[in-house]
Amino acid sequence: MAEEALIVIDLQNDFCPGGALAVTGGDEIVPLVNDLIRRSEHVILTQDWHPAGHSSFASSHPGKQPFETIEMPYGPQTLWPDHCIQGSLGSDFHSGLAWTKAELVIRKGFRTAIDSYSAFFENDHTTQTGLAGYLRERGIDSLTLVGLATDFCVAFSALDAVKLGFRTTVRLDACRGIDLNGSLETMIARMREAGVTLEDHLSD
């Protein structure tokens, strides 16, 4: 029962140019992601899905600005502009994304008090999203991750995936990063050290 799945991370309007937390070139990956969706047997999408007033929003912390860091009960937390509010246009998938084939959409970040970068664990590294159990029940043991942002939700998902025993590949050419204080280089190194296979097919 060795099955493979493509996991498309947070390819939502708010992470694309014009969105509330735009990732440079975030929309450029859509054609390549659609190609990978077409060629994948199983497709799973994640959707960043915050209630208004979420604790990861700088606007929820008087005097704080986006991209500052605060201490939460579970550790340091970067503060973000309000983004991906449940049901908003910004929380929708990019309109060009060929999402209909997806077998599962996993939403994360819906608890006001905890952010969730990873598709597997929230930022307390304890609260599970249910994705690992779903994949195991379906006999899926190999994952390819693409989407936004390389250095946050893609990287934390990939690190958790290898820790949980999944064979994990990140297609860097189908990701774009935020790169906050060198986070892109840091997280790429962490993924490589953890045993994530990093592929870049740009030169193909």
User: Catalytic site residues?
Assistant: 10, 108, 153
How many residues touch Zn ion under the rule CB under 5 A: the total is 2
Stretch that binds Zn ion, among 48-56, 63-71, 125-133, 161-169 (CB under 5 A): 48-56
Instruction: Report 82-101 residues binding ligand VGL (CB under 6 A).
Output: none
Sheet bearing 42-48, strands edge to edge = 104-108, 42-48, 3-9, 140-148, 167-176, 197-199
Q: Which amino acid is at 14?
A: D
Nearer to Zn ion, 56 or 169 (CB): 56
Q: How many residues does the chain have?
A: 204
User: Is residue 48 a contact point for Zn ion (CB under 5 A)?
Assistant: yes
β-partners of residue 199 are: 171
Amino acid identity, residue 34? N
Residue 48, interface with ligand VGL (CB under 6 A)?
Answer: yes
Assess 187 for contact with ligand VGL (CB under 6 A). Answer: no
What residue ranges in the chain does DSSP mark as E strands? 3-9, 42-48, 69-72, 75-78, 104-108, 140-148, 167-176, 197-199
User: Shortest approach of Zn ion to residue 74 CB, angstroms?
Assistant: 15
Chain positions contacting ligand VGL, by CB under 6 A: 10, 15, 48, 80, 117, 148-149, 152-153
Chain positions contacting Zn ion, by CB under 5 A: 48, 109
